[in-house]
Structures are given as C-alpha cells and as structure tokens.
Chains A and B, each alone.
Chain A
Amino acid sequence: MQDRYSILLVSIIAALIRFWQLGDIPQGLSLQEVKFALYLSNVFGEVVYNPFLLRLPFALLGTVSIVLWFVFLIKYNFSRQVTILATLLLIFTPWHIHQSRVLSIGMVIMVLSLILLLILRKLILRYYKKIYFVLSCMFILVSLYSIILQNPINVKHEVGELRGYASRLNINSFSYLFSNKYLESLRLWESLTFEYLDLGNYFFSGYPRERWGVEEIQKFYLVLLPFIFISFIKRSSVNVSTVILSLFMISLLVLFKIRDSDVSIVLLLPLLLIIVKGLMVMAQKIQVLVMVLMFIEFSLFSFNYYTGLTEGLFSPRRPLYEKIAKEIYSLNKNIIVADRLQNARYYFQYYLKNDLEKLKFREVKLEMENDKERYFLDVLSNGLSLERVEIIKEYDDSQNRKQIVLYRIR
C-alpha cells in the first residue's frame, strides 16, 4: 500500500517537471521532431502540429520510466534508502528531464529495457553472475569487432595522411606497421569509448573538451561528482556488476558511433546506481545535505532550462524558423525560399500546417533572378548586392552564426 502511494507521488512530481511548458521548452523543434510530426500527420491529422501534443508521448514515457525504475529497484531487492535516493535522482536529473521533453529514441529504449528487466526478473536474479560473465565477453567481442572488422571510411583518410608525413620526411621504413587501418580503428575506438568516461561530458556540458557537432547538455548535478569516486572506495558486487553492464552498454554505443545524449541515456541508470552507492557510504546527515544541495542546483538548472539558456552551440532545434514561418505567412506574398536555409521546407511545412501554396523551395542564384513580384528568403552572403535588392526583414540566426534576410529584387 505504501508503495502504491509512493508510486503515485513519484508520478506526480515527475509529471509536473516534464509536462510544464512542454510545447515551448526546449525552444523550437528539431528536424527529427518535425519530420516525425509530418509523418504522423498522415495518421493523426492536424493534432500533431501542436508541439505540446507532439512531445506528449515522450513526456509520458519519461514519467513511466521513473515509475518503472522505482518498481525495478523494489523488485530487485534494493534497500528502501537506495530506492528513494535513486528515484529522486532520476526525477530531478537534468539528462532525464531534457530527454523526456524532446523526441527521444533513448527514452523508448529505456522504458523497453526496464520492462524487459521486470519481466525477466526471476531469471536475472537467479543467473546474474553468469549473465554478467556473458556481458563481459560480449563487451570484449563487440569492442574487437569495432576495432578490427568495422574499419570506418574516415580511418582510411587518417592513415593516408600519416603515411604521407613519413613519406615526405623520407622515413618509409615501418610506416605500414606504425600507421595502418587497424591501429587507427583502435585509436578511434579508444577515443569514442573514453568519451563516455569523460567527467566533463556528464557534469559540465562537455566543458572543457566540447565535441564538435554534438549537442552538449548537463547530465548530472555537480554536487554528485565526488560520489562517482567514493562509490568505489567500498567494494561491492553491485558496483562490479554495474560497471560490467555500463561497459557493455558503452561498447554498443561505440559500435554504432552514438555520441549524443539521446540513445546514450541508457547509461543513466547504471551511473545513478554507482552514484547512489557512493552516497550510501556517507552518513545520513551528509546524504540529506547532498540532496538539499542537489535541489538548489535543480533550482538553478530549472531557471536556465525553462528560460531557454541551456541551448548549446550544436542544439538541433531551430526556434527561429517558427518565427520566420509565421511572419512570412502573414505577409501573404509569393516567396521563394533558398535551399541555403537548410531543411527549411520541413519546418515551414510543419509550422504552416502544410499550407505551402505561396512558398517555393529551390536554389537561388541572385544574378539570374529577375522576378520583382516575389520575395526571397535567403542567407545573407557576400554576393548579396544591396543595390540590386531591397531588404524587407532581417533575422539573426545566432545559432548558426548567420543572418537570414527576406528581400525583393529592385
């Protein structure tokens, strides 16, 4: 009975954090969300043009995942204290909050994994030592496959470059031994694997080793950092098995070269267990203090997150396109949208609810354009002669460090 009330309370708190301003935060939709919505519009109609409703399933999955996590901890005989701490951490973890508020394949995988773990509970509890041995072997096999057999294309370029250095220095002896595709594949594997062991990746939004092209978000609160280390001071079987599970998950993520925070959220659960184990080493007063500090960090994070300040350089979301779409629609003019505005077609199709009658999407070469009746929407470039065009409106796309202009030909 107590558990039922606990589950209810957990669900309510989790839902509040995940559903509030769901359509507006994070600001703007990603290309993935937009394409998904356009696909769903064939089935569900116009309802998907509401960002809140579009994101609703993932917020629900996020909330359900917390409930499942709570049940998992009880059913797997973790102590009451561990269950409460781990569940609280999951509810308030920035990583989970963010992934519950966007289209997230990782959230689907997390829920399915938890369901599977609950279904196979008896089997796992009975054979867990053998399972972890199997997982260890699979980790090694998957890693070896990544290194030896996969051989990605960009490794060939790297090898060629390195052999070029040796050749130009007239040091050709052993260059095939010291630069070859297997060695470079191993280095790539190491690089990707150790990205998952980088503290900055989890606690400091990637700082100082931010990754080019990867959306860096804060995953855990800073106050929890010491407990990753403290966790290993007292050895326990849970730690060993959690580490093995984490390594296996990392090997899969590396195999598929997944670096973003979406699918990799599957790592969140074992990492939370490790952190909680570290917390459990401390006296209860310290645990309470840590939770208080965590709530303070949560407040600070919430301020930044719900005001849109946590959007990083490589955020996939394009809030500016919503503004542009609605403004140009209100002009009621025929407009040509240049293909330099990447993927604009999908965004405008979404925000204008498929009403693209007055818009055309194509390549624009200003020197060959003569239509003075139409407007053009394009990225401001050096080739845009102000003598030839009249600028109607400018948009600052600071995210892409560009200016987007609406203009017409004089």
Chain B
Amino acid sequence: MKKILLILLLIIFFSTLLRVVFLDNLPKGFFRDEAALGYNAYSLLKTGKDEYGVSNPLVFRSFEVFFLPAYVYLSVPIIAIFGLTEFSTRLLSAISGILIVAAAFFIAFELTKNKAASVFSALIVSIAPWGIFYSRGAFEGNLGLAFFSLGFLYWLKFLNRNKLTYVIFAIIFFVLSMYSYQAERFVVPLIGIIFFLLSFKQIIELRKNLIIIFLFILILIIPISMISFNAGGYHRAIGVSIFNSKQNPPGFNSKIDFIPNDLFLLRMRQIIALYASYFSPLNLFVKGDYDMQRSVEKFTVFYTWNFPFLSLGFLWLFKTFNLKNKLLLSWIIIAPVPAALTTDLFHTYRSLLLYLPLSILTGIGISNVFDNLSKFKLLFIFTILLISLSSVSFFLYSYNVYNTYTRSRYWEFGYKEIVSFTGTLPKGTRVVVDDYKKDPKFENYIYFLFHAKTDPAKYQYEVAKLGNPNIYYYSNPSLLRPNRIGNITFEQVDWPTRRGDTGSVFVMPASDLPESEFMTDPKVKLLKEIRYPSGEIAFRIIKIL
C-alpha cells in the first residue's frame, strides 16, 4: 500500500504542476466572473462586507449573477496571504482540482478494492482536459465538484465500514457542494434521495442516530433553502432555463396546430436530446463545448483514446452491479440533468459533475485490461504513461498557443492593461469606459475594482447612494449598481455625439472605434492601443483635446 500511496503522491505532484504553474497567466485574460469572486473575497477580508456593503451575504449579488458563497468565503484566507491577484483568485479552484485527483484515487479504491484501478483513475483525472481546464480558472463548479466527490467518498466509506462519522462527513461535504455551485443545488437533493433509498438497509442500522442526522441536514440546508425563495436564489436558474427560452424547439412550426407539433412535447424531446448529447461520444471525445471561452482548440473533455477504456469501465459497472456501483450509476445519470434543462448546448461547466465518475470508469477500464494481461504488464504501463504524457503535451500546447491566439478575447483580455494605463493618467481626468454590448450590462466596472484594488469601503459608499442594499439585495434582480468609480464612468458611448467631450478620455473596443473615426480628427489623440496576443487591436484609449 505504501508503494501505491507513493505513486499517488507522484500523480498529485504532477497534477499540481499542471494546475498551478503559470496560473495567473494561463489562460490569457481574466474573466469578469473571476474578478467578481476575487474582489468580493477581498472586500470581505477588508470590511467584512461584499461590494454592496452587505455583511456576510448568503449569495454574492455582484452583477446580478448571485454567486453562491463557498468560493468567496474560502478565498478570503488565500487572498489574505497572497494579496488580490489573478493567481490568488484562481488558486482555490486549482486546489480543488488537486483534491479531485486524490478523491478519484480513493473513490476508485472504495469501489473496486483494486490498487491499479485507483492509480489509473487518479492518472486519468490528473491529465484530463476537463480537469486541467476547470482547475485553471476561478470556477466555483470545480470547488463544488471537489466537495461532492468527497461527499461521495465518505458515503462509500460509510457503506464499507458502517460508521456514523462517515455519514456526518458525507453530509457536510454534500451540503458544502450545494453552497458552491448552482448545479449541485439541483443534483444533491436528488442524489440524496436516491442514496437514501438505495442504502436504506445500512442507514436503518444507525437507528437512534437517524434523528440527529436529519436535524443536522436540516440545519445545514436552512440558509440555502431560505434564499431559494428569493430572486437572489432562483434568478440565475430561471434566466438560463430552457422553459423560459424564446427560441422554439427544433421541429416546431407555428403554422401547424396538431399533436405532433405540440410545443410542450417538442420541448420535452429537445430536453431529452440535450441530455443524450452529454453522453454522446462525439461530444465527450472529439467536439468540445460550443462556447469559445469554455473550450480548448482541438480538444474536448476527454482524450479520444479514453473511449475504449470508458466502454470497458461501463461493462465492468454493469457486470458488478452491486450497491456501490448503483450509487455511481445514479451519480452519472443525474449529473447532466441541470445542464440539459438549460438553453446552452453541451455546456461542459454545468455538467462538470459528470466527468469525474466517467474518468473513474475509464481508469477502471484500463485496470481491467491490465489485470487480464498475463504478460507484458510493464509494457502496458509504459504505453499508457507514454500516451498520457503525449496527450497532455498536445493539450498544453493547444491551451498555451492556439487558445492564446484564438480565445483571449473570450477571456476578456485587455482590461488589466486598461486599468494599468488609466491609473497613470493625471488625477481627476474624466475617463469614460464604453460598455459596448447591445444589451448593456455595465459589468466592466469589476475589472477596475479588481485590478486597481479599489478600497472596498469607498465603493460601498458609492453603492449606498442607491439606497439601502439590505432591502433590494436578495429580492430585486434588476441592474442596480453605480455607473462610476471615482473619475471613471461606465456608459454605452454614442461616439458621434460624444466626440466633442473636451478633456474626456474614452476607452472603447477597436470594433466600435475604427481608425477612420479619429485618425484625421486633430481634436482626438490616440493615447494607447491594447492588443490581443494575436496582434489584433482590442481596445483604443483616446483623448478629446
């Protein structure tokens, strides 16, 4: 066993390298959700309140996203140590990713009592594209997955050893996952019911302690249940729900009024199609997430060579269909449901819960081949290691080179440079930052808070001018925040009418301010051009003389 734990340590060390090295700079860019998580943790650290000035919130409103609290609160000590930086903001997700690798090892061992299966499972998770990608950004879902996997591990331990302590730990971790990410709020109660029903015999043996357990669960979930009845608790879910979608389901014809064309039936069919797509080999092994920000060029969640081993893992699952495997299967079946109920196609972040059990099954599939080999075991291990290293090398190259070139804009690259430059302007300069979206959301302010490390107390003072945040914080999902931070204003700029604003400095995307708009105008001075890594101009900063 010591040998195996040493191998695990090596894998964890390797995973750490993959997840932590250059964490601040890869991926290039820093998404606004990350900035919001980091800044709110910073605000809590400095003032005990979030950016709105609310003490110890149950959700973090930010720009009407209503982040669940776990990531923010757990980031506070990290930011206290490392300061407010991209690195410290992302570090919790990286740590979660490393924990997930360890969890995979122990879960596989609890399921199979097979050391090879444990090692291969940990290896698969450590190098998996989904594992690396979601550990290198501030993703609350990754933290949620870490907690969920620990909850599952302790539940398996309970089944194997029948100790009350394990039940308590399992409940704690499952509930913590509910405080981490939206998908878990849906999945955990369902999984909890299924686990309870499947493990009924073992649970009944706890007898006297059952009431304590139920009370314990109730106390833990009261806060999250309370906010579920406020807009702050359901706003996000309703916003992305497929039932609220304005787009008709495929096959719907508004001119036909007959059963085959029934909107509800077709919507149900659409949901089934979306659900099935999360198990489609094409999506799992070849084509990635549709969203440019959530994918790596040429890669998806798994490597193609994982496919046959995953198939073998599923065969093993059904061949040894004991209680623990039923629990694992329940996890696999329920995991993509939240994602399937939203309008986005093959959303890998919302279905993140799915990929850990599939990785474990892949590891088990590899171990099945390994165990059945009478000769050439060493050669097999060497081959797997070689393929793994090659795969991760190609993945990292794609991630570092192709993604930097093609997807930096989707990671909102450029704002750090903008904030850095506007910080050098003379004090009192009026700066106008263009919110260039057709449906303006004025979310860019968070970059100025984050990168400038704006004093949270000062910003909270600005927010307080809008009214008492405790009144609207959870209940009103409308856009409610100041449109200025000091001398910086956030607006939707109408350039033709604003080009006469003498003395103002404008920050605009290059697409909204082409050269022809100002090059020949002597009253407009180009101060700086911010370029994407590809060389294309992202933003222009100009001054009206």
Tell me whether A204 and B273 are in contact (CB under 8 A).
Answer: yes
Q: Is B256 an interface residue (CB 8 A)?
A: yes
Measured in the bound complex, the distance between the Cα atoms of B281 and A203 in whole Å is 14
Q: Smallest CB–CB gap between A265 and chain B, Å?
A: 19
Q: Which residues of A contact B256 (CB under 8 A)?
A: 309
Q: Which residues of A contact B253 (CB under 8 A)?
A: 309
Measured in the bound complex, the distance between the Cα atoms of B256 and A197 in whole Å is 33
Q: Smallest CB–CB gap between B2 and chain A, Å?
A: 37
Tell me whether A190 and B304 are in contact (CB under 8 A).
Answer: yes
Tell me whether B282 and A300 are in contact (CB under 8 A).
Answer: no
Q: Smallest CB–CB gap between B354 and chain A, Å?
A: 15
Closest partner residue, chain A, to B268 (CB atom) = A222
Q: Smallest CB–CB gap between B26 and chain A, Å?
A: 13
Q: Is A145 an interface residue (CB 8 A)?
A: no
Q: Is A329 an interface residue (CB 8 A)?
A: no
- Given A198-B280, A222-B272, A300-B259, check contact A207 B286 (CB 8 Å): no
Residues 212-254 of chain A: 1 if any B CB is under 8 Å from the residue's CB, otherwise 0? 0000000000100100000011010000000000000000000
Q: Is A162 an interface residue (CB 8 A)?
A: yes
Interface size on B, residues (CB 8 A): 42
Measured in the bound complex, the distance between the Cα atoms of B256 and A195 in whole Å is 32
Measured in the bound complex, the distance between the Cα atoms of B256 and A171 in whole Å is 57
Q: Smallest CB–CB gap between A386 and chain B, Å?
A: 30
Number of A-B contacts (CB under 8 A): 102
Q: Smallest CB–CB gap between A185 and chain B, Å?
A: 13
Tell me whether A209 and B401 are in contact (CB under 8 A).
Answer: no
Instruction: Describe B's contact surface by its main secondary structure.
Output: helix
Tell me whether A195 and B282 are in contact (CB under 8 A).
Answer: yes
Q: Which residues of B contact A235 (CB under 8 A)?
A: 315
Tell me whether B277 and A199 are in contact (CB under 8 A).
Answer: yes
Measured in the bound complex, the distance between the Cα atoms of B533 and A111 in whole Å is 57
Partner of A171, one of B346, B401, B535: B401
Tell me whether A197 and B258 are in contact (CB under 8 A).
Answer: no
Q: Is A304 an interface residue (CB 8 A)?
A: yes
Q: Is A256 an interface residue (CB 8 A)?
A: no
Q: Is B459 an interface residue (CB 8 A)?
A: no
Partner of B286, one of A171, A191, A200, A204: A191
Tell me whether A207 and B285 are in contact (CB under 8 A).
Answer: no
Measured in the bound complex, the distance between the Cα atoms of B156 and A141 in whole Å is 44
Q: Is A178 an interface residue (CB 8 A)?
A: yes
Q: Is A153 an interface residue (CB 8 A)?
A: no
Q: Smallest CB–CB gap between A396 and chain B, Å?
A: 14
Q: Which residues of A contact B410 (CB under 8 A)?
A: none
Tell me whether A232 and B276 are in contact (CB under 8 A).
Answer: no
Tell me whether B286 and A300 are in contact (CB under 8 A).
Answer: no
Q: Which residues of B contact A162 (CB under 8 A)?
A: 402
Interface size class of A (residues with CB under 8 A): 35 or more
Partner of A169, one of B274, B287, B315, B401: B401
Closest partner residue, chain A, to B534 (CB atom) = A168
Q: Which residues of A contact B533 (CB under 8 A)?
A: 169
Partner of A209, one of B258, B287, B298, B398: B287
Q: Is B404 an interface residue (CB 8 A)?
A: yes
Q: Which residues of B contact A190 (CB under 8 A)?
A: 285-286, 304
Tell me whether A208 and B346 are in contact (CB under 8 A).
Answer: yes
Q: Is B234 an interface residue (CB 8 A)?
A: no
Tell me whether A208 and B405 are in contact (CB under 8 A).
Answer: no
Q: Is B250 an interface residue (CB 8 A)?
A: yes
Measured in the bound complex, the distance between the Cα atoms of B535 and A205 in whole Å is 40
- Given A199-B280, A203-B273, check contact A165 B260 (CB 8 Å): no
Q: Is B318 an interface residue (CB 8 A)?
A: yes
- Which residues 220-258 of B sit at the A interface, judged by CB distance below 8 A? 250-251, 253, 256, 258
Closest partner residue, chain B, to A206 (CB atom) = B250
Measured in the bound complex, the distance between the Cα atoms of B265 and A301 in whole Å is 13
Residues 37-67 of chain A: 1 if any B CB is under 8 Å from the residue's CB, otherwise 0? 0000000000000000000000000000000
Q: Is B126 an interface residue (CB 8 A)?
A: no
Q: List 26 A-B contacts (CB under 8 A).
A: A165-B401, A165-B406, A166-B401, A166-B405, A168-B405, A168-B534, A169-B404, A169-B533, A171-B400, A171-B401, A178-B394, A178-B401, A190-B286, A190-B304, A194-B282, A199-B279, A203-B276, A205-B250, A208-B273, A208-B274, A209-B280, A209-B282, A209-B345, A303-B259, A304-B261, A309-B260
- 10 tightest Cβ-Cβ pairs between the two chains A and B: A198-B282, A165-B405, A204-B273, A197-B281, A208-B345, A300-B260, A194-B282, A194-B286, A178-B397, A233-B318
Mark B residues whose CB is within 8 Å of A.
250-251, 253, 256, 258-261, 269-270, 272-274, 276-277, 279-283, 285-287, 298, 304, 314-315, 318, 345-346, 394, 397-398, 400-402, 404-406, 533-535
20 additional A-B residue pairs with CB within 8 Å, beyond A191-B287, A209-B345, A309-B256: A165-B405, A166-B405, A169-B405, A169-B533, A171-B400, A194-B281, A194-B286, A194-B304, A195-B282, A198-B281, A198-B282, A200-B277, A203-B273, A204-B273, A207-B250, A208-B345, A209-B283, A225-B276, A232-B318, A303-B258
